[in-house]
Chain A
């Protein structure tokens, strides 16, 4: 179990604005993903836990050992923390062979056992055949596996990974994900993984911690965060929602309905507890929850006329972009006959409407 409560102020530099990191998180066994945009402070959090950065105040606790305690003046050297770290650029020593890289990391293991352990890790990560090569002679996937093996060989109590899938092709990503799931099952320790890739979150995360502007804004299982983002900023971060400004015009708890005003149109949704008539809110809806058809006469129930701006091809569907930043995903065959039509109506589901 890792528990970190850290604060650090980075003063503004000549090329950077000031930044304040104020993180409070804990993670148990399994993979915990730190999700957030670049510059949110995810890597700084990992670096603080690994001991490369000294926070101004707070406390970092790994199992029952204090790694950092601002008040007590404890700041263990990185050497003493036993946190495996997989760096973004792998940081394999370029002048050593792959085997030497592992041996360097296994220096604390007695000599006889070290040899056995290195062989075991090479075997486990399918690297035996290339163990005599230097990093620049390896493929991206091999480098990736080697950096994970190197981080694990010293039996760390925590594994930190900084965007491990960055720069890998989709097949290699899939391979990495299954490798990491295996690591999670074989090594009994917390794994903290930094990413800004939502897909990676869903592939790997047991728990997800959303970080924005140096702060933890939401945490929980990824499915839950995806279904119920805590606020409009998080929904924006997830980047998969239409967010439309609406005003609540009517609320009827007895019939479980509400009426929302979007631009000049009225939509019917479910009752929103805790909201008042006149509130302004954001309607939050995924592109696949909407449907679209060419406009034909007056718009019907929960339909809003919109003008098609652009069509984006996706592998399995088409994404229609309408004026007002509304996007709708449709099946390609349902669009085929209407590719020249510009005036459409977008239909909003009645029950599935959520506001933030």
Chain B
């Protein structure tokens, strides 16, 4: 029986895009949380962590409410891009994003905090602006741990099931990601297809995680594992 490879490619594409977005947004969030004291920091921290502990259905429900066709955000998206967000592959990106960002922010924050404070003090003392300090000192010093965090986020996005199902649906050839395709294949009694996808997904995840672990042996900082 021929295997439909579309879900695998879709998952890889979704995970790549969501990791890129998570990096762009998560890094500065992590930077702010590791560097500044402000009111509501605890709440922000908890809110960022929330998706890690909430059941996927709860998260999916929230997203449906916030991004659905009747919500202001959903209408704004529809107005801007000419199509609704929910039940498209872009919605799968959003779902993956909510799964991977918490992990990325947490690991990136730990990475920033593991950079010896004296380098940041030295940079400030030498007149560097906060932006320059971030780009020229902290980020390069935390580089490997950040890459490891991104790899973890990628692996995590690859495997999302519940949230994706709730807001992107299960439309074969359009929004069916690999995790959902495996579920479908098992339900349909197509054990051979399920086995192949399971093995491939496991191999990719294993590869990414071992890469992450190799990266966390940071030559500039203390050793710590990504997980």
Contacts and interface: CB of A to CB of B under 8 A. Distances in A.
Question: Does B bind A?
Answer: yes
Interface of A: 50-52, 77-79, 81-85, 87-89, 91-95, 104-105, 107-108, 150-151, 154
A107 B127 contact: yes
Contacts of B9: none
A104 B123 contact: yes
A77 B136 CA distance: 19
A79 B137 contact: no
A234 B136 CA distance: 45
Q: Does more than half of chain B's interface fall in helix, strand or loop, or is it mixed?
A: helix
Nearest to A83: B125
A150 B118 CA distance: 14
B127 A154 contact: yes
Given A94-B220, A95-B220, A107 B118 contact: no
Contacts of B123: 93, 104
A44 B125 CA distance: 15
Contact of B121 (A87, A95, A105): A87
Contacts of B137: 93
Contacts of A95: 140-141, 220
18 contacts: A52-B125, A78-B125, A79-B128, A83-B125, A84-B125, A85-B125, A87-B121, A87-B122, A91-B122, A92-B122, A95-B140, A95-B220, A104-B128, A105-B127, A108-B127, A150-B126, A151-B126, A154-B126
A94 B141 contact: yes
Contacts of B183: none
A300 to B, nearest CB: 59
A78 B124 contact: yes
Given A89-B116, A91-B122, 15 more contacts: A52-B124, A77-B124, A79-B124, A79-B128, A82-B127, A83-B125, A85-B125, A91-B118, A95-B141, A95-B220, A104-B123, A104-B128, A107-B127, A150-B126, A151-B126
Contacts of A85: 121-122, 125
Nearest to A52: B121
B35 interface: no
A2 to B, nearest CB: 15
> Which residue of A81, A87, A93 has the most chain B CB atoms within 10 A of its CB atom?
A93
Nearest to A78: B124
B110 to A, nearest CB: 19
Interface in B64-121: 116, 118-119, 121
Interface in B107-159: 116, 118-119, 121-129, 132, 136-137, 140-141
B37 to A, nearest CB: 12
Contacts of B125: 50, 52, 78-79, 81, 83-85, 151
B112 to A, nearest CB: 15
Contacts of A77: 124
A107 B132 CA distance: 11
Contacts of A93: 119, 122-123, 137, 141
A82 B126 CA distance: 8
Interface string B38-58: 000000000000000000000
Contacts of A51: 124
A150 B119 CA distance: 13
A291 to B, nearest CB: 49
A155 to B, nearest CB: 11
A93 B126 CA distance: 12
A77 B118 CA distance: 16
A105 B141 contact: no
B218 to A, nearest CB: 10
Nearest to B221: A94
Given A94-B220, A95-B140, A79 B121 contact: no
A91 B119 contact: yes
A52 B220 CA distance: 23
A23 B226 CA distance: 43
Which 9 residue pairs spanning A and B have beta carbons closest together?
Answer: A91-B122, A91-B118, A78-B124, A105-B126, A85-B125, A95-B140, A94-B220, A79-B127, A87-B118
Contacts of B121: 50, 52, 78, 85, 87, 91
